[in-house]
Amino acid sequence: MRPIHALTHALAPLALALAAAGCSTIGDDSSSSAPDDATKPTRVVLVTHESFSLPKPLIKQFEQASGLDLVVRATGDAGILTNKLVLTKDDPLGDVAFGVDNTFASRALDAGVFAPYDAALPDGAEEYRLPGDDEHGLTPVDDASVCVNVDDTWFADHDLAPPRTLDDLADPAYRDLFVTPGAATSSPGMAFLLTTIAAYGEDGWQDYWTKLMDNGVKLTAGWSDAYEVDFTQGGGHGDRPIVLSYDSSPAFTVSGGTSSTSALLDTCFRQVEYAGVLDGAANPDGAEQLVDFLLSPEVQAALPESMYVFPVDSSVKLPAEWARFAEQPSDPYEVDPGAIGEHRDEWLREWSDVTSR
Amino acid sequence: MRRAFELAGLSALPLAVLGVFFVLPVSGMVSEGFVADGRFDPGGVLEVLGRPRVHRVVWFTVWSSTVATLVAVLLGLPVAHLLHRRRFPGRGVLRSLLLVPFVLPTVVVGVAFRELIGESGPLGFLGLDGSAVAIVAGLVFFNVAVVIRAVGAAWESLDPRPAEAAAALGASPAQVLLTVTLPALRPAIVSAASVVFLFCATAFGVVLTLGGLRYSSVETEIYLLTTNLLDLQAAAALSILQLLAITGLLVVTGRLRAVPDPALARSVRRAPRPSRGDWPGVVATGLVLLLVGAPLAALALGSLRVGDAWSLGNYRALTGAGSQHALLVSVTDALVTSLRTAVDATWMSLSLGLLVTVVVTRRSRSRTERRVRGLLDGLFMLPLGVSAVTLGFGFLITLDRPPVDLRDSPLLVPIAQALVALPLVVRTLVPVLGGVDDRQRQAAASLGAGPLRTFATVELPLVWRPLTAAAGFAFAVSLGEFGATSFLAREDHPTLPIVIFHLIGHPGAMNYGMSLAASVVLAATTALVMLAVDRLRVSSVGAF
Amino acid sequence: MLTLDRLTVAYDGEPAVVDASLDLDDGHVLAVLGPSGSGKSTLLRAIAGLEPPSSGRICWDGADLARVPTHKRGFALMFQDGQLFNHLTVARNVGYALRLRRAPGTAERVAELLALVGLEGYADRLPTTLSGGERQRVALARSLAVSPRLLLLDEPLSALDAGLRERLASDLRGILRSAGTTALMVTHDQEEAYAVADRLAVMREGRIVQQGDIGEVWRAPADPETALFLGYARVLEGSAAATLLRAAGHPPAEAVAVRRSALVVDQHGPLRGLVVSARATPELIRLVVDVDGVGEVDAIARLGTHPAPGDPVRLGVDPGRLATPGRR
Mean pLDDT of A332-356: 89
What percent of chain C has pLDDT above 90?
Answer: 21
Task: Identify whether A282 is part of a domain.
Answer: yes
Per-residue pLDDT of chain C (328 residues; tens, 9 = 90+): 999 999 999 877 788 899 999 999 999 999 999 888 888 889 998 998 888 899 999 999 989 998 888 888 888 888 877 788 888 889 998 988 888 888 888 889 899 889 888 888 898 988 888 888 888 889 888 888 888 899 999 888 877 777 778 888 888 888 888 888 899 999 988 888 888 899 999 998 889 999 999 888 888 888 888 888 888 888 888 888 888 888 888 888 888 898 888 889 988 888 899 999 988 888 888 999 998 888 888 999 888 888 888 889 999 988 888 888 875 5
As for how many domains chain A has, the answer is 2
* A297 lies in the same domain as A164: no
Looking at residue B249, its pLDDT comes to 84
Same structural domain, A193 and A126: no
* Statement: residue A12 has pLDDT above 50: no
Is the pLDDT assigned to residue B76 strictly greater than 80? yes
Query: Are A205 and A296 part of one and the same domain?
Result: no
In-domain check, residue A10: no
Question: Between B and C, how many CB-CB pairs are < 8 A?
Answer: 84
Q: Do both A163 and A120 map to the same domain? A: no
- Look at the alpha carbons of A49, A338, A217, A231 in this order and tell me if their dihedral is positive or negative: negative
Is residue A340 within 8 Å of residue A106, measured between CB atoms?
A: yes
Q: Which of A1, A29, A50, A237 to mutate to test the interface with B (most CBs of B within 10 A)?
A: A50
- Residues A164, A284 share a domain: no
Closest B-chain CA to A319: B324
Q: Of A60-69, B262-271, B439-448, which has the strongest mean pLDDT?
A: A60-69
State residue B448's pLDDT score: 67
B509-535 and B331-361 helices cross at what angle (nearest 10)?
40
Instruction: Assess contact for B390 and B26: CB atoms under 8 A.
Output: yes
CA A82 to chain centre: 12
Q: Tell me if B135 sits within 8 A of B211, measured CB to CB.
A: yes
Q: Which of B32, B115, B231 sits opposite A236 (nearest CB)?
A: B115
Mean pLDDT of A246-255: 88
CB contact under 8 A, B167 and C71: yes
Indicate whether A305 belongs to any domain.
yes
Whole-number Å distance between alpha carbons of B396 and A85: 10
Of the pLDDT bands very low, low, confident and very high (cuts 50, 70, 90), residue B438 is low
Cβ-based neighbours of B405, under 8 Å, separated by 6 or more: B399
Contacts of C281 (CB under 8 A, 6+ apart): none
Burial (0-12, 13-18, 19+ Cβ within 10 Å), C322: buried
Residues A125 and A265 placed together within one structural domain of the fold? no
CA angle B262, B264, B267 (to 5 degrees): 170
CA distance B543 to C243: 54
A33, part of any domain: no
Structural domain harbouring A92: 43-144+271-325
Find chain A residues with C-beta within 8 A of B513's C-beta: 235
B31: left (phi over 0), alpha (psi -120 to 50) or beta: alpha
Residues in A closer than 8 angstroms to B544, CB to CB, are 6, 9-10
Q: Does B428 touch chain A if contact means CB atoms closer than 8 Å?
A: no
Q: Parallel, antiparallel, or unpaired: how do β-strands C271-280 and C312-317 relate?
A: antiparallel
Indicate whether A86 and A122 sit together in one domain. yes
Name the nearest CA neighbour of B147 among B76, B208, B216. Answer: B76
Q: Cα(B509)–Cα(A237) distance, rounded to whole angstroms?
A: 11
C152 to chain B: nearest residue by CA? B168
**H or E segment at A71?**
strand A69-74
Section A172-201 average pLDDT: 92
Closest partner residue to C83 (CB to CB) among B162, B176, B261 is: B162
Task: Residue C126: list chain B partners with CB under 8 A.
Answer: 260
> Does A185 share its domain with A218?
yes
Is B173 within 8 Å of chain C by CB? yes
Among left, alpha and beta (phi > 0; psi -120 to 50; other), residue B466 is alpha
Residues of B in contact with C86 (CB under 8 A): 259-263
Q: Do A24 and B502 touch (CB under 8 A)?
A: no
Per-residue confidence (pLDDT) for residue B506, from 0 to 100: 74
Q: Which amino acid is at B277?
A: G
Closest among A4, A1, A83 to A47, alpha carbons compared: A83
Measured CA to CA, the distance from residue A7 to residue B455 in angstroms comes to 9
pLDDT at residue B294, as a whole number: 85
Touching chains, B (3+ CB pairs < 8 A): A, C
Best B335, B491, B504, B516 residue to mutate vs chain A (most A CBs within 10 Å)? B491
Q: Kindly report the three-state secondary structure assignment for every residue of chain C.
A: CEEEEEEEEEECCEEEEEEEEEEECCCCEEEEECCCCCCHHHHHHHHHCCCCCCEEEEEECCEECCCCCHHHCCEEEECCCCCCCCCCCHHHHHCHHHHHCCCCCHHHHHHHHHHHCCCCCCCCCCHHHCCHHHHHHHHHHHHHCCCCCEEEEECCCCCCCHHHHHHHHHHHHHHHHHHCCCEEEEECCHHHHHHHCCEEEEEECCEEEEEEEHHHHHHCCCCHHHHHHCCCCEEEEHHHHHHHHHHHCCCCCCEEEECCCCEEECCCCCEEEEEEEEEECCCEEEEEEEECCCEEEEEEEECCCCCCCCCEEEEEECHHHEECCCCC
A5 occurs within a structural domain: no
Rg (CA), chain C: 23
Chain C touched by B168 (CB under 8 Å): yes
pLDDT tens digits, B305-327: 777 778 888 888 877 654 444 55
Domain match, A150 and A139 both: no
For the ranges A36-50, A68-82, B403-417, the maximum mean pLDDT occurs at A68-82
Residue A300 in domain: yes
A15: in domain: no
Distance CA A278, CA A282 (A): 9
Which chain A residues are within 8 Å of B110, Cβ to Cβ? Answer: 221, 225
Residues facing residue A46 across a β-bridge:
A72, A96
pLDDT band of residue A293 (cuts 50, 70, 90) is very high
Amino acid in the structure at residue B311: S
- Kindly state whether residues A173 and A248 are assigned to the same domain: yes
pLDDT higher than 80, residue A59: yes
Is C69 close to B176, i.e. CB distance below 8 A? no
Query: How much is the mean pLDDT over chain B?
Result: 79
Q: Are strands C29-33 and C183-187 parallel, antiparallel or unpaired?
A: parallel
Query: C96 and B169: CB-CB below 8 Å?
Result: yes
Residue A18 inside a domain? The answer is no
Distance CA C85, CA C78 (A): 12
Instruction: Tell me, yes or no, whether A122 and A151 share the same domain.
Output: no
Do C7 and C21 touch, CB atoms closer than 8 A? yes
Q: Looking at the DSSP assignment, which residues form a beta bridge with residue C8?
A: C55
Question: Measured on CA atoms in the order B415, B417, B418, B423, is the torsion positive or negative?
Answer: positive
Q: Does C73 touch chain B (CB under 8 A)?
A: yes
Determine the pLDDT at residue B257: 67
* The pLDDT of residue A165: 94
Q: CATH number of the domain at A97, please.
A: 3.40.190.10
Distance CA A228, CA C107 (A): 68
pLDDT band at A292 (very low <50, low <70, confident <90, very high): very high
B508 interfaces chain A, CB cutoff of 8 Å = yes
User: Residue B334: pLDDT band by 50, 70, 90 thresholds?
Assistant: confident
CB < 8 Å to B260, chain C: 86-87, 126, 128
Sheet holding C63-64, edge to edge: C14-24, C2-11, C55-60, C63-64
DSSP single-letter state for residue B178: I
Residue C92 and residue C95: Cα distance in Å, rounded? Answer: 5
Residue A9 has pLDDT above 50, yes or no: no
Of the candidates C72, C79, C152, the beta carbon closest to that of B161 is on C79
B169 and C CB contact within 8 Å: yes
Based on the fold, state whether residues A161 and A247 are members of the same structural domain.
yes
- Average confidence (pLDDT) over A217-240: 86
Inter-chain CB proximity A220 and B213 less than 8 Å: yes
> Which residues, numbered 308 to 337 in chain B, qualify as contacts with chain A under a Cβ-Cβ cut-off of 8 Å?
322, 324, 326-328, 337
The reply to whether residue B328 touches residue A56, judged by beta carbons under 8 angstroms, is yes
Alpha-carbon gap, residue B511 to B314, rounded angstroms: 9
Chain B residues whose beta carbon lies within 8 Å of the beta carbon of residue C139: 165
Which residues pair with residue B305 across a beta bridge?
B310
Helix axes B91-98, B279-303, angle to 10 degrees: 60
The per-residue pLDDT for A240 is 92
